[in-house]
Amino acid sequence: MCGITGYIGYRDAYPIIINGLQRLEYRGYDSAGIVLFDGNQINLTKTKGKVSDLITKIATNSFDKGTVGIGHTRWATHGVPNDVNSHPHLSQSGNLVIVHNGIIENYDTIKKELIKRGYTFKSDTDTEVLVNLIEEIQKKYDVKLGKAVQIALNQVIGAYAIAVFDKNKPDEIVVARLGSPLAIGIGKDKKEYFVASDASPFIEYTKDAIYLEDEEMAIIRVGREVRIRKIKDDSLVDADVQELQLSLEQIEKGGFEHFMLKEIHEQPHAISDTYRGRLLREEGIIKMSGVEDNMKKLLNADRFIIVACGTSWHAGLVAEYLIEDLARIPVEVEYASEFRYRNPIITEKDVVIAISQSGETADTLAAIKLAKSKGALVFGVCNVVGSSIARETDTGAYTHAGPEIGVASTKAFTTQITVLTLMALRLARAKGTMTSSDYRYHLQELELIPKKVEELLKIDDHVKYISNIYKDATNFLYLGRGYNFPVALEGALKLKEISYIHAEGYPAAEMKHGPIALIDENMPIVVIATNKGHYEKVVSNIQEIKSRKGQIIAVVTEGDVTVKEMADHVIEIPETIEAFTPLLTTIPLQLLSYHIAVMRGCNVDQPRNLAKSVTVE
């Protein structure tokens, strides 16, 4: 994680970098820093805390001058979040300055070597080691900055996106990437360049961008084309300039108090954007090029293995139910972090589906590489276009949810489920596990989901009322069965992520094997009890809770009578096919966690210790 940004050109760099850091805060926000070159000297300001704290600090020291600079917002890996460990880091001489996103794994060995050569270190970070290694190489071999960076990177093990600036060469910034994203924005007539972890910091200045590939570096100099090289062998690479599709409006809050709330409300649109052009109801077909092009391999697969982390893993669990139920293809769902390290059995007859909002999650990326090395076809389900995972996978489908900025994932989850639903239906049809009339009925119902989500969002005040009653609870239990078991997990994850209330998601029937011991009159229990999914069984589970005096918040299908009589509160969702209920039952749980977190005074969009994009193991 961590966000890096930089500017070199003719404008004041300070507002561009600060604005950019604010847009990148979703990547980490435990400390922030900026360095600007004012024509004579490097002025560095950094602090523990948010970018707003950095702005306050700069207001006192006035270090805001210069047309070149780099900035950083941090999610700590090496060294606790404090002023000293914050980036940028200066080299020993004070000539070089660096910002870094990632981890240098062999930093300790290099550090000991540098200490022997007389270097001293102010921080506990791996990054300060890297900048001093670059300086040492510059001195030892008498080479320019770009060359020194290249030699240094060939000595380090780990992951990085870096931007380095040399006070003695103030017309250039050197950047490099391995495992962490880095985009370069190209200004008009090459009079200015931007650097950032994603394109959001420079979207209002240019639509032309280059995304560095792994193991590439670039020397960015005003007035000249960007020169990209392979870090390993110094070979020149042709720059692939892409036109950005992102708009400024998409990355702003648009009148909502928080990005999370905006993104919850964007779901009707996001879901229809996901199936637009793919779900052709009138023709009665689903068209997904990634599926069509690989149909034979998909249908003949021994099994699908889904790899993902966090919320995306929950979408993977929903997909397991969908694909097994509708298309009758065996599915396993794995945490990418476990999968990659447990010597899994993968063959050429397996299909691996990697799900990731950001497309940058390190563990998911590593799981993909492993699967590819064993010959499996890897299908990616990503939101961020052009992300590492999107590029690394053999084929796939984008979710088209638009930028998700709130750290707690919402629209990414429902659009991932939408893509996976389309995939399951298309495979079911191709495999003949679904009749044509059933298929058509499913398409028709799926097309109605955005409208139903829109309807459902009107219950916001009711959910707010419930949130107020339970905002001070210390524990929550979420129960669901079948398709809604993963939704229970996701509901619990949302609550703990942003409100810091301990919450557990459980399959409703498993409650009696443990969590039931926790139930007393202080325990709120969210039960998903839709009318088709093992309804009677869930009703029995509700009775078991009731007799132990637990407080029941039930998510039911509209018109429900039985559960209504037993539950303390009910939230109704519109009627739909059971397989599509996760797209609806998720919505009130997102709102519940949102309102509780707001009422508890938590920072909803930037919950403590978390980051949106986890590019470290």
Q: Scanning residues 67 to 126, which ones bind ligand G6P (CB under 6 A)?
A: none
Q: Scanning residues 388 to 417, which ones bind ligand G6P (CB under 6 A)?
A: 407, 409
Nearer to ligand G6P, 23 or 46 (CB): 23
Nearer to ligand G6P, 311 or 541 (CB): 311
Q: Is 489 in the site for ligand G6P (CB under 6 A)?
A: no
Q: How far is the CB of 364 from ligand G6P (least distance, A)?
A: 5
Q: How far is the CB of 66 from ligand G6P (least distance, A)?
A: 34
Q: Is 180 in the site for ligand G6P (CB under 6 A)?
A: no
Q: Is 358 in the site for ligand G6P (CB under 6 A)?
A: yes
Nearer to ligand G6P, 164 or 614 (CB): 614
Q: Provide Rg for the chain, Cα atoms.
A: 26
Distance CA 334, CA 405 (A): 25
Q: Is 612 in the site for ligand G6P (CB under 6 A)?
A: yes
Task: Specify the stretch interacting with ligand G6P by CB under 6 A; choose among 60-68, 205-213, 215-223, 356-364.
Answer: 356-364
Nearer to ligand G6P, 229 or 612 (CB): 612
Report the residue from 22, 47, 267, 356 that binds ligand G6P according to the rule CB under 6 A: 356
> Which residue is catalytic, options 50, 57, 494, 612?
612
8 A C-beta contact, residue 309 and residue 337:
yes
Q: How far is the CB of 509 from ligand G6P (least distance, A)?
A: 26
8 A C-beta contact, residue 541 and residue 531:
no
Q: Nearest-5° angle of CA 5, CA 391, CA 382? A: 85
| Binding-residue pattern over the window 297 to 336 for ligand G6P, x denoting contact by CB under 6 A | ------------xxxx------------------------
> Which residue is catalytic, options 2, 309, 382, 602?
2
Q: How far is the CB of 400 from ligand G6P (least distance, A)?
A: 15
Please give the size of the binding site for ligand G6P, defined by CB under 6 A: 15
Distance CA 566, CA 372 (A): 51
* Residue owning tokens 């000991």: 112
> Annotated catalytic, 612?
yes
For the packed helices 485-499 and 582-599, what is the interaxial angle rounded to 10 degrees? 20
8 A C-beta contact, residue 61 and residue 38:
no
Q: Give the CB-nearest residue to ligand G6P.
A: 310
> Annotated catalytic, 2?
yes
Structural tokens at position 516? 């039931």
Q: Please give the sequence-ordered ranges of beta strands (E in DSSP) within 49-188, or none if there are none.
A: 68-74, 89-90, 96-104, 158-166, 172-178, 183-186
Long-range contacts of 605-609 (CB under 8 A, 24+ apart): 605/26, 605/258, 605/259, 605/260, 605/405, 605/406, 605/407, 606/25, 606/26, 606/29, 606/50, 606/407, 607/407, 607/408, 607/497, 607/498, 607/500, 608/500
Q: Is 590 in the site for ligand G6P (CB under 6 A)?
A: no
Structural tokens at position 67? 């047309």
Q: Is 364 in the site for ligand G6P (CB under 6 A)?
A: yes
Structural tokens at position 144? 């320019």
Distance CA 542, CA 285 (A): 40
List interacting residues with ligand G6P (CB under 6 A).
309-312, 356-358, 361, 364, 407, 409, 610, 612-614
Active site residues: 2, 612
